Structure 1
Amino acid sequence: MVTLAKVAEAAGVGESTVSRVLRNHGSFSRKTKDRVMEAVERLGYVPNRIAGTLASAGSRLVAMVIPSLTNIVFADVLRGASGILEENQHQAVFSVTEYEPEKEEALVAAMLAWRPTAVMLAGFEHSNGTVKMLRASGCRVVELLDLDGAAQDLAVGFSNRAAGSVAADFLLKRGYRKIGYVGHDLDRDTRAAKRFAGFRETLGAAGFPLVDSEIHAGASSVEGGRLALERLLTRMPGLDAVYFSNDDMALGGYFHCLARGIQVPERLALFGHNGLDIGRVTPQPLSTIRTPRVATGRVAAELVVTDAPSQVVDLGFELIEGATA
C-alpha cells in the first residue's frame, strides 16, 4: 500500500507538508505542491480521508443517521448538506436506520466511536439510549425535518403538524367534506404521524371529522399507495377527497384512479406531501406541500461548520395547489 510517508519521501518533503497540500490548507509553495502532486500521481496514492479526520486534533467527521435511502427526501437532505461540508473540508458519512429506533441507537453508538464533530438525525423521537449517548458525547447534535418537539441542540426543518393542518384547511376550503386518509407505518414514521394528527384536528375542529383511513403495512411506496387507496375506496366509495402521508403514496393513488377511470379531482381529490419533482410533471400536477429538503441539509451543515449556538431554524413549507384537488 502506498502511504503518506512514501509520497513524502518521493517528493522530498515532510509528511505534514504532503498533508497540507492534499487538504489544500496551510502554507506551501507552488513548486512544493507540484512536486507532491507529481509523486501522488506517479505512485497512485489515494488519501485516507477518514483516517486523516480521526488523526486531526479537531475531528471534521460529520455523521448523518437517516431513516431511508429509498425515500428521495433524505437523498435531498444529504445533497444539501454534502456540498457545504465538502467546501469546508468536513467529511460526511451516513448510515440508514430503516425507521427502527433500536437500529438507530446501534448506529449512533458506532458513529460516536469515530468521535465526529456532529451527528445529524431525522426528527426528535429517539430511544433513551440514543439520547443519553448524544448528550454524553460532547459533539453537536442536529435534528432535521421536524420542529414539533424539544431540540437537544440544533434543529432545522418545519412543523409537520402545521403542514397537516394546512392540507386539511385547503381541502375544506375547496368544498370537500367526505375526506379519507391513506398512509404508511405511523408508529415508525413519527413525522408522518404528526402530519396526520394535525390534519385530523383541523377537520374535526371544522365539524367534518375524518371519514376513514387505510394504513399500508410497510414503508411508503407508490405501489403501497395504489393498493391502500383501492382498499379504502372499497370500504368507502363515497369519499370525495383523500389525504396521503406523502407524495409516493399519493402518486400510487393517482395511478389507481387512472387505471379505474376515476376522474381526478371531479370524482376524487388527491393531496400529498413533500412536493417531489415527479408529482409536478404528472399529467395532472399533484396538489401537495413542498418541503425544504435540500435547504434543510444546507442550513444544518452551515450551522455545524460555523459552530453556531444552539437554535431552532424554521424553514417553513409551501402549499402547491396543483391540479388533483
Structure 2
Amino acid sequence: MTDPTKRPLTLRDVSEASGVSEMTVSRVLRNKGDVSAVTREKVQNAAKRLGYVPNKIAGALASQQVNLVAVIIPSLGNMVFPEVLSGISSVLESTELQPVVGVTDYLPEKEEKVLFDMLSWRPAGVIIAGLEHSEASRAMLRQADIPVIEIMDVDGEPIDTCVGISHRRAGRKMAEAIIEAGYRKIGFMGTKMPLDHRARKRFEGFTRTLAQSGIEIADQEFYSGGSALAKGREMTQAMLERSPDLDFLYYSNDMIGAGGLLYLQETGRKIPDDIGLAGFNAVELLEGLSLRLATMDACRREIGQRAAEVIVERHMGVKDHETTISLKPKQQPGDTLIRKT
C-alpha cells in the first residue's frame, strides 16, 4: 500500500547494509567496473534484502514516474492469462496508462528478475499474478511505493490489494457437486504443485470436502509442460488402466480435461453415466466439443478489469479502497456431470 511517510531507499542504504562504499555499490548495481566476487555478493544480498531497485529514470522526469502499468503473469501459453490481459487493456485504453507485460514461467527467481527490471522504470502501478512471492520479490513490492494489485487469488494476505476468487472455495464447490451427483471413486489429474499455488489450493479445498464425506482420492497424477490436450489423453489412459473402476475424473484445468474427454469418447465410455468428469476455467475454445465439459468460470476478464480499475482510481488520487476484492466463480455442470432434477 502506498505510504506517504515512506522514504525511498538510496545507494547509501545499500552501502550501510553491505559495509561497502556508495561508489562500489553503484558499480555493482550497474554491473560496471572491476569488483571482487565477494564484494559483489555482499552488495547484491543487501539490495535484495532491502528490496532496493535502482531508478532508471532518475533526473529524467519531474514526476519520477512513467505512465506504464507493469503486468506480471506466469504464462502467455496458458489460455487463462490472455483473457485477463484483455480485461486490463479494456480499462486502461481510455486512460493515459499503458500496460507492459512480463512473464515468469511460474519460477520465483524469474519473477524476481522481471520485477527488478520493471520497477526500475518506476511504473504507475503493478498488477501481478498470485499472492505467493519470494522474500526478495515481496521486499521490492513493499518498497515500490506504488499501487500493487495481486490478482487471481484471495486466499491469503495481500501486500496491498488483491482481486480474484477463492480457489479453496472453488475446489470445495466442485467436490460438493460431485458428491451430490453420487460419484464416489474419484481420480484427480493436474499440474505439478507446489509452483502452481492456485491449483494447489483448489486441490486442498476439493480433497478436504471429499474427506468430510468419507471419500478419499482413489488415484492421482501430475504433469508439467507439453501439450495439455495430449497430456490429458495420456494421463487419463494411464489412470484408467491403473484404476478401471473410477467413476469420476477431476482435472485441474479444462485443457487436460478436454484431452481426457476425447480419450473417453474414443474408447466408448458413457459420459456422465459410466464416468463423469470436470475441469476448471470455462475455456471458450472448448465450446465446440460434442459434450460440454463441466467446469467453473474463474471470472478471468472481470479480474483484469477490476484490477485495472483499482490502478486507475489510485492513479487519480483515490485513497479509500478495498484491500480484498473477492469474485464468485460460477459453476457450469455442462454435459459431463450428472445434474439432479
Same fold (TM over 0.5): yes
Taking the aligned partners of 1:189 and 1:261, their CA distance within structure 2 comes to 33
Q: CA deviation at 1:281?
A: 2.9
- Secondary structure of the 2:115 match is helix
- Aligned pairs for 1:1-325 (under 5 A) are 55=61, 57=63, 58-218=65-225, 221-307=228-314, 308=318, 309=321, 311-325=323-337
Identical aligned pairs, as a percentage?
A: 38
Amino acid at match of 2:325: V
8 Å CA contact retained: 1:153, 1:310 = no
8 Å CA contact retained: 1:185, 1:218 = no
Q: CA deviation at 1:178?
A: 0.4
Q: CA deviation at 1:217?
A: 3.4
In 2 relative to 1, CA 220–188 (structure 1 residues): closer, same or farther, beyond 3 Å? Answer: farther
- Secondary structure of the 1:322 match is coil
Taking the aligned partners of 1:220 and 1:293, their CA distance within structure 2 comes to 22
In 2 relative to 1, CA 310–138 (structure 1 residues): closer, same or farther, beyond 3 Å? Answer: farther
8 Å CA contact retained: 1:156, 1:300 = yes
- Secondary structure of the 1:111 match is helix
**What is the number of equivalent residue pairs in this alignment?**
273
- Secondary structure of the 1:249 match is helix
Taking the aligned partners of 2:62 and 2:334, their CA distance within structure 1 comes to 50
Amino acid at match of 2:82: A
Taking the aligned partners of 2:322 and 2:161, their CA distance within structure 1 comes to 5
Taking the aligned partners of 2:97 and 2:286, their CA distance within structure 1 comes to 34
Q: CA deviation at 1:278?
A: 2.6
Taking the aligned partners of 1:170 and 1:108, their CA distance within structure 2 comes to 40
Q: CA deviation at 1:219?
A: 6.3
Deviation string for 1:128-183 (max 9, x for gaps)?
Answer: 10000111111111111101110111110110000001011000000000011011
Q: CA deviation at 1:310?
A: 5.1
Deviation string for 1:84-134 (max 9, x for gaps)?
Answer: 112111011001111111101110000001101111111101111000011
> What is the TM-score of this pair, normalised by structure 2?
0.77
Amino acid at match of 1:169: E
Q: CA deviation at 1:263?
A: 2.0
Amino acid at match of 1:72: M
Q: CA deviation at 1:259?
A: 2.1
Deviation string for 1:215-269 (max 9, x for gaps)?
Answer: 1233671211111111111111100001100111111111111222222112211
Taking the aligned partners of 1:209 and 1:238, their CA distance within structure 2 comes to 14
Amino acid at match of 2:261: Y
Taking the aligned partners of 1:219 and 1:289, their CA distance within structure 2 comes to 23
Alignment gaps of 5+ in structure 2: 1-56
Deviation string for 1:60-102 (max 9, x for gaps)?
Answer: 2100110000111100000000121121110110011111111
8 Å CA contact retained: 1:158, 1:317 = yes
Taking the aligned partners of 2:267 and 2:241, their CA distance within structure 1 comes to 12
> What is the TM-score of this pair, normalised by structure 1?
0.81
Normalized per residue, the structure richer in helix is 1
Deviation string for 1:18-39 (max 9, x for gaps)?
Answer: xxxxxxxxxxxxxxxxxxxxxx
- CA RMSD of superposed structures (Å): 1.5
